[in-house]
Amino acid sequence: MTIEVTLGDEADAVKAVKDKLVAEGVPAALAAGDSTLWGPQAQSEAAIRLGWLGLPGTSRELLPEIAKLVERARAEGLDHVVLAGMGGSSLAPEVICATEDVPLTVLDTTDPHQVRRALADRLDRTIVVVASKSGGTIETDSHRRVYEQAFRDAGIDPAERIVVVTDPGSPLERTAIEAGYPVVLADPNVGGRYSALTAFGLVPSALAGADVARLLDDAAAVAPLLAQDEGNPGLELGALLGARALHGRDKLILRDAPSDITGLPDWIEQLIAESTGKEGKGILPVVGAEAAEADDQFLVTIGPDSGTTVDGPLGAQFLVWEYATAVVGRVLGINPFDQPNVAESKENTTRILQEAGDGPLPTGTPVLTDGPVEVYGDLPGDLKNLADVLTWLLRAIPERGYLAIMAYLDREAAFDAAVVGEASFEEMTETWASADVATLRALLDYRTDHAVTFGWGPRFLHSTGQYHKGGPASGVFLQITGAVTDDVDVPGKPYTLGRLQLAQALGDLGALTSRGRPAVRLHLTDRVAGVRHLLSVAEEL
């Protein structure tokens, strides 16, 4: 495991932070699981959240149980693995499987088009991993209900196709036992975003065909280094991130270099944003940018490259970044294991659904309409079109601020439609157009020196959503929603996926506007035409 650092005039500041950590005995204390490192207010939480330090060893106990699940799935010809999970329950398996080039369908969405397409893909050969630490995640609960109904409608016993990963004693464990589903219990002393090497990361990855024992081997190889004062990659990385944040470089540009690892920045994004974005502090990871453009930004490359790089096998990367994030919490004076603002958007969603009943959701009235795009928000009255709105948003970004784009659309549309190969020309056109909305980040990033992030809703609510509300009050927010043309009922619930998706968007928007954050919602009355129009306008700014 290597970390190559180019510091320039910041070398002294980073060395000072590292020396202070060493003088305080932090490396050895953290490696030993000392829950006092983040202060008395964080101690009770930290005491039940440090199990990740021992996972390279303790998770080996899961391997025989996981091997039996894999053997059964192979014997029954179940080669389409679907993971229903959010945040830490899905991001690590996605990276693991992408890195090993094994297929995994990840459902971390409430977009009905994305879910319906997954349902239509080889249901007769599908095994579903339902993963939720709390056991009450609304998205995952909805996916479970939808798949149970789909299996029954196809004459398939859900107990033969659903595997549950959860914490001991959760509501999901009880539901699974009653339904006869196999249950793999995760370590309850590990938070969701630190759970890459728990059952949450290992079970779906192994079912998809990944070598999870090797992940643990690679993590175990680096673990002894994390108690050292020198040659400790977690300490080096944590001191670097913390020192730069203290000196105003709090936007972390994460770039993937060509290497054996694929997609790790998406996992790091959640780990750092949700762990550090609180009490008006934090580091904002930016995925997709190629360079640091302003003095509040700095670049870290994953894989061998020049400049500041973090290189090593995936299992080691997981453990080192987790250790470094815990170190950053110490440096910034925050608790890296809680997420105090995540529940707010969830509560808003529940309230919106309950208050609306069977009636329309409180979307409000558009302040203007530009073709297939409706614009909602508290905006100046002189804005006449979509170009004016985007320009206003870019100008509203404060000094040392950022723009966050949040799209409640179908994030896997382009890839899945191409793979399935059975979509009509019209369906292919729609899915490619929907996925292309992610290019909006690059178009707007080109027009500002400020950091621009992009998140798929509701996935980002379990990630950067904490930073948006708990971090520095310097964000400007562009939310994108879209009309639903083929909704999915959620059995046993009074809402559809499309209705839930919109309620989640409105709930988070309310959490942002209640803090006085500049926020605009663009609603695409036609997803295909809306994305095309939005990108066309952004290109011409």
Give the pLDDT confidence of 451-498 residue by residue, as tens digits. 999 999 999 998 999 999 999 999 999 999 999 999 999 999 999 999
Say whether 36 sits in a helix, a strand or coil: coil
Q: Are 507 and 521 in contact (CB under 8 A)?
A: no
Task: For residues 415-430, give the mean pLDDT.
Answer: 40
Give me the percent of the chain exceeding a pLDDT of 90: 89
What does DSSP say about strands 373-377 and 368-370: parallel, antiparallel, or unpaired?
A: antiparallel
Residue 7 confidence class, pLDDT cut points 50, 70, 90? low
Helices 112-119, 425-435: crossing angle, 10 deg rounding: 130
pLDDT for residue 201 is more than 80: yes
pLDDT digits (tens, 9 = 90+) for 453-463: 999 999 999 89
What does DSSP say about strands 183-185 and 126-132: parallel, antiparallel, or unpaired?
A: unpaired
When mean pLDDT is compared across 90-94, 153-157, 243-247, 307-311, the lowest value belongs to 307-311
Name, in order, each residue with C-beta under 8 angstroms of 178's C-beta and a sequence gap of 6 or more: none
Say whether 140 sits in a helix, a strand or coil: helix
Of the candidates 325, 285, 258, 298, the one whose C-alpha atom is nearest the C-alpha of residue 455 is 285
Task: Give the pLDDT score at 181.
Answer: 98
Task: For residues 342-355, give the mean pLDDT.
Answer: 94
Concatenating the DSSP letter of every residue in 42-104 gives: HHHHHHTS-GGGGHHHHGGGGHHHHHHHHHHHHHTT--EEEEE--THHHHHHHHHHHHHT---
pLDDT digits (tens, 9 = 90+) for 313-327: 999 999 999 999 999
Residue 425 confidence class, pLDDT cut points 50, 70, 90? very low
Mean model confidence pLDDT for the chain: 93
pLDDT digits (tens, 9 = 90+) for 39-85: 999 999 999 999 999 999 999 999 999 999 999 999 999 999 999 99
Of the candidates 433, 410, 373, the one whose C-alpha atom is nearest the C-alpha of residue 498 is 410
Beta-strand (E) ranges in 108-178? Answer: 126-132, 162-166
Task: Give the pLDDT score at 420.
Answer: 34
Provide, for the chain, the percentages of residues in helix, strand and coil under a 3-state DSSP scheme, each rounded to the nearest 5.
Answer: 50, 15, 35
Distances (CA, A) of 57 to 50, 54, 186, 195, 366: 14, 6, 14, 14, 55
Give me the percent of the chain exceeding a pLDDT of 70: 95
Considering the entire predicted model, what is its pTM? Answer: 0.95
Task: For residues 410-419, give the mean pLDDT.
Answer: 54
Say whether 165 sits in a helix, a strand or coil: strand
pLDDT for residue 355 is more than 80: yes
Report how far residue 74's alpha carbon sits from residue 463's, in angstroms, rounded to the nearest whole number: 33
pLDDT digits (tens, 9 = 90+) for 253-306: 999 988 899 999 999 999 999 999 999 999 999 999 988 989 999 999 998 888
pLDDT for residue 421 is more than 70: no
Task: Give the pLDDT score at 538.
Answer: 95
Q: Cis before residue 458, ω within 30 degrees of 0? A: yes
User: Radius of gyration (Cα) for the chain, nearest Å?
Assistant: 23
Concatenating the DSSP letter of every residue in 343-377 gives: HHHHHHHHHHHHHHTTS-------SEEETTEEEEE
pLDDT for residue 214 is more than 80: yes
Based on the number of CB atoms within 10 Å of its own CB, is 68 exposed (0-12), middle (13-18) or buried (19 or more)?
A: exposed
Provide the residue type at 136 as one letter: G
Based on the number of CB atoms within 10 Å of its own CB, is 396 exposed (0-12), middle (13-18) or buried (19 or more)?
A: middle
Phi, psi of 524 (to 5 degrees): -90, 110
Residue 541 confidence class, pLDDT cut points 50, 70, 90? very high
What does DSSP say about strands 126-132 and 80-84: parallel, antiparallel, or unpaired?
A: parallel
Report how far residue 482's alpha carbon sits from residue 488's, in angstroms, rounded to the nearest whole number: 15
Instruction: For the sheet with 251-256, list strands across it.
Output: 2-4, 309-311, 297-302, 251-256, 284-287
Report how far residue 269's alpha carbon sits from residue 256's, in angstroms, rounded to the nearest whole number: 13
Q: Residue with structure tokens 């490259």?
A: 305
pLDDT digits (tens, 9 = 90+) for 80-123: 999 999 999 999 999 999 999 999 999 999 999 999 999 999 99
**Angle, CA 534 vertex, CA 530 and CA 540 arms, to 5°:** 150
Concatenating the DSSP letter of every residue in 264-278 gives: HHHHHHHHHHHHH--
Task: For residues 336-357, give the mean pLDDT.
Answer: 95
Residue 409 confidence class, pLDDT cut points 50, 70, 90? very high
Say whether 2 sits in a helix, a strand or coil: strand
Task: For residues 499-527, give the mean pLDDT.
Answer: 97
Task: Give the pLDDT score at 293.
Answer: 87
